[in-house]
Structure 1
């Protein structure tokens, strides 16, 4: 054996001894439960050709690495600290695995906040789910908190792995598939079936995305593995925490995990630059810049803008995404409050056209108007949102001495037609045609109709509408909340999503305000359960960006922004009245986390990416709040992480921020219509 080989052998033995001694000293007698197994750390070294790899583990280290392993006991878990020191220039990847015994892996459920719920079975084939593969690993910045959880619903056992390091750096990688060398802080967290009767969780650093990397909508790209470049003599430390416990069901699991993650990060409000009044003044530019006329309608163009130019597209949309009626109400109310005659005149012009030509022959609200578009499919959610805002407008007209009894008749007739669509179980179909015949029987949007039905029961003094809302609430409880199955409330996807949970929380809030004391507490509890699922989509920490990216230069802090859905992995400003619901729940349930997070959401989304003079953040016009914020390796159509998509829909983003800044609307409506 030559001296060089002998030296490598000695160094390898020393490294193994250090690792072994560290584990013994740190274990301090702590032992994992019998159903959880720790597996050795795996180490992969990238070859000089940047293609080949050599695989090792902590029991047989590479000769170019010294490894120190420390395990410390924490409350119901263990913290694993690995420090790697290079004895030569290397590029490496490490991964750590834990497994948990289960009787039937096919019944196991997993939770990766803001991206994976149970088994993601609501997601389509071309998005991540167990329909495509039985093991998945994702970059940590895809998750609203860097934690993954495995759950055995049969026994109530869960175990989780959290990345505990602060994530500060994420330079733009040289490639988005295969192997890449990058000095990123971002690792990955994985989960899925193991071998036999067990499931696994895995932490990796840097990130490994496998078996596919989900970087574009409904496009699963090849696996992607990063290697960290470590210079001779340099060290890097990676910390994971393994926790375990019991949960009564998946809802209890998510509640426990969200509380734990919230307490760990303790997210604080974002200092704002603009006052609420200044923000509304800036947003009001959108109403004038987007104004458009079709052959028989006038309104605010809300969809499909070029982000850099924001040229008006002429597309008028009611409900999500254009929010023409919501924004008309916003502008009208704002105009009277600020005594701005131009605002009032513009809002009235839009409303006059919709009151005259905004309904189909069968009384449905026209949802999407542009060119020769044939409106053949209508959605429960858009109709519900349109009715909600029409009721606000009709109420405002009554209060200001300008009632519209003709529109009241139209709205009541539409509501009665929708009532007839309610199924015996209380559900409503997701979509239907102009004759109210079902085209999409999916029931996941049922909760969206609860609020307008509650409002209608008061406005029209018709208890039948309240009974419909209550019956829809029964369906929502049994099939969405009790089953923890929040899905299909986004309109461009049919999968697990944020809005289904947040809308359910708001719906039960509104039912509570319309109910006597015996049902009030019941609805409070349901709103609280749904709210936690809604909150699980919102980021609790700030993800890092490449220093040359738009979002880095804008100084974006991601805490308080919410992932969209399991199909659409970007963040946006969707909030509307959800922060107000959280504040109400905080008072009703004594939950200060809710009120704190409500403030974080509000302060984070309202002006960080608001385009105004000297702060246009890549947007072409003042007041056009951008829609698609690509905070992770995600390309909704263009540009990728750290940038905005090339196109955006703005009507709803303006309406969301406006509603966040206008609390108490629903309560005041209910008080005026006892």
Structure 2
């Protein structure tokens, strides 16, 4: 121990034995910067009271310990002993000396990928600032990675303390005092154009705080209140290495972070059959009729009342065909004539009136909606479930020649939209005129094309699926550019990666031996990006908040996108793909995480008698779970948004609980 004495400050710096020897040293391209401790004065202004290596203050004692976790990893632990009452903030920087800001790419899992340049200017990205600092609960794991694509060097900064406490703040901007375990991680440009990684405790959100959809609020900085005689310990781990590609870095980061947290399955209160029984109430409560259609209202419910909106939607978000199929199949399995009759009523209506005069599936029907915009993703999801329904009816001895022809014709029309690269446009009008030529949703059409190729014995559909796969491989997988699969945001998102993994899984099951292994590898690569959005840790909530009272465990829940910073139950058949990948690649983490996801999302927020979790009706699985300081327009961290779309949430949980559908479909149509 070396003690430096000043009239007004005691500084004790402790070096453990792990610090002795070259294994405890950072490489030359990573420069450690001195810790800064700031405090609030009586006016609420920030003052720098101590900079590591200097002398000032008179109100604290500091201990520093550096431990070598491995030859490529160091943990920095600071312990502050308060000599007087004080409200303090810690800031620690590491500079990447051989990586300029202009060339650097970053990973903050579940929130920031590369430079976030797909995101709009009203969401965080380097379009509007060259440095950003974010609360750790925005991230699926509290870490930040800086990556140099030119030399493959990466540096990872992780918070390594237990994050168990977060209280409701008195203000959402400026300087505040707060008892919290949540810090922040910063990325961007430091001095001399070098790349900077920063840890703050408590959190600093700068230059803006992203607290509502497409709304950047002023800078927000928390200070931790310490009483005289109390101590505070904060730890960060810095790791470093090399990766050939950004995707390799993402894979390595996810695997090592998973191994650190080792998330366990969440204990469930209901069986899968009981969960389906609860969800079934949604079908009856949401039943609605328009002038020519019958279906399940799926969108824009008031969360507290869940009054029927009458909005019918195919594909994301209402999932009318998926839900009708689920109810029909379940009704037959349970010998429940009411389930069967309700499902048939909805399907007969759509078979008669659910297509436009040009053959498109009517995606969104309510009131005076013009129905003039159509999307590749909704058409694809509708077609997938229509093909499942055709197969189901065929097994029941029911022939639907007219519907078969409608589906076949529509799929040929969609093939005509495919460009020479294999990409498909995101949106088009009723006459198939392209309205949005962004091709980030291309992977969504692969599954129905594979199914249609088998069902109709139509090689053109398989050719289109293979071309779409080739597009996704070159433009999405190889570029690590997963974007635009959420319908209300065109940015980096979870669903683009997970749908890509699912699509290549389906291609692999349908492929010959020569192509199969390539598709397995592509599914695996996409799966790591999909997994990077799912939480490996449990975010703390204020005890008085809804999610605090519910005791929600966030491990296994996925962030939505860089624009929509909330968690939800989106999973569908992604856990089944992870189970398959575990077998194909001998990677048990995939299977383990699939079980964590499934166990966590299926009934923690399921509303049933005695457990309504802030939702107005039984079975209406909530959509927008606000786990961090962000909301879709109302209520903030620890609560649900005031409105929600439910059709897709019910369909997601149902599909999670019903594995093997696609494989059995292909077996029946070899």
Deviations 1:96-139 (A, max 9, x none): 00011235421210000000000001000110000011110000
Give SS of 1:10's match: coil
User: Is 2:556 the counterpart of 1:552?
Assistant: no
Give SS of 1:390's match: helix
Q: 2:26 maps to which residue?
A: 32
In the TM superposition, 1:164-243 aligns within 5 A as: 164-243=160-239
**1:67 equivalent among 53, 62, 70:** 62
User: Is 2:41 the counterpart of 1:41?
Assistant: no
User: Is 2:669 the counterpart of 1:673?
Assistant: yes
User: Is 2:111 the counterpart of 1:115?
Assistant: yes
Q: 2:51 maps to which residue?
A: 57
What's the TM-score, normalizing by structure 1? Answer: 0.97
Residues 61/608 of structure 1: CA separation in 2 closer, same or farther (3 Å cut): farther
**1:379 equivalent among 375, 380, 383:** 375
Residue ranges of structure 2 left out of the alignment (5+ in a row): none
1:499 Cα offset (Å): 0.1
1:537 Cα offset (Å): 0.1
1:10 Cα offset (Å): 3.0
In the TM superposition, 1:111-190 aligns within 5 A as: 111-190=107-186
C-alpha separation between the residues in 1 aligned to 2:5 and 2:237? 32
In the TM superposition, 1:517-556 aligns within 5 A as: 517-556=513-552
C-alpha separation between the residues in 2 aligned to 1:62 and 1:522? 62
Give SS of 1:128's match: coil
Cα-Cα RMSD: 1.1
In the TM superposition, 1:258-657 aligns within 5 A as: 258-657=254-653
Deviations 1:343-398 (A, max 9, x none): 00000000011000000000000000000100111000000000000000001010
Give SS of 1:412's match: helix
C-alpha separation between the residues in 2 aligned to 1:557 and 1:322? 26
Q: Which runs of 4+ in 1 moved over 4 A?
A: 23-26
Q: 1:3 maps to which residue?
A: none
1:11 Cα offset (Å): 4.7
- Report if aligned partners of 1:163, 1:241 keep a CA contact under 8 Å in 2: yes
1:55 Cα offset (Å): 4.3
1:54 Cα offset (Å): 3.4
- Report if aligned partners of 2:16, 2:67 keep a CA contact under 8 Å in 1: no
Deviations 1:39-58 (A, max 9, x none): 00010011012234334212
- Report if aligned partners of 1:26, 1:70 keep a CA contact under 8 Å in 2: no
Deviations 1:277-315 (A, max 9, x none): 000000000000000000000000000000000000000
C-alpha separation between the residues in 2 aligned to 1:183 and 1:198? 33
- Report if aligned partners of 2:447, 2:506 keep a CA contact under 8 Å in 1: yes
1:27 Cα offset (Å): 2.6
- Report if aligned partners of 1:376, 1:434 keep a CA contact under 8 Å in 2: yes
1:258 Cα offset (Å): 0.3
C-alpha separation between the residues in 1 aligned to 2:561 and 2:373? 23
- Report if aligned partners of 1:293, 1:314 keep a CA contact under 8 Å in 2: yes
1:8 Cα offset (Å): 9.8
Residue ranges of structure 1 left out of the alignment (5+ in a row): 1-6
1:63 Cα offset (Å): 1.0
C-alpha separation between the residues in 1 aligned to 2:133 and 2:316? 32
Deviations 1:443-491 (A, max 9, x none): 0000000000000000000111001000000000000000000000000
- Report if aligned partners of 2:36, 2:48 keep a CA contact under 8 Å in 1: no
1:194 Cα offset (Å): 1.2
Q: 1:4 maps to which residue?
A: none
1:639 Cα offset (Å): 0.7
C-alpha separation between the residues in 2 aligned to 1:102 and 1:647? 48
What's the TM-score, normalizing by structure 2? Answer: 0.98
Residues 10/55 of structure 1: CA separation in 2 closer, same or farther (3 Å cut): closer
C-alpha separation between the residues in 2 aligned to 1:98 and 1:572? 34
- Report if aligned partners of 1:612, 1:622 keep a CA contact under 8 Å in 2: yes
- Report if aligned partners of 1:102, 1:197 keep a CA contact under 8 Å in 2: no
Give SS of 2:186's match: strand
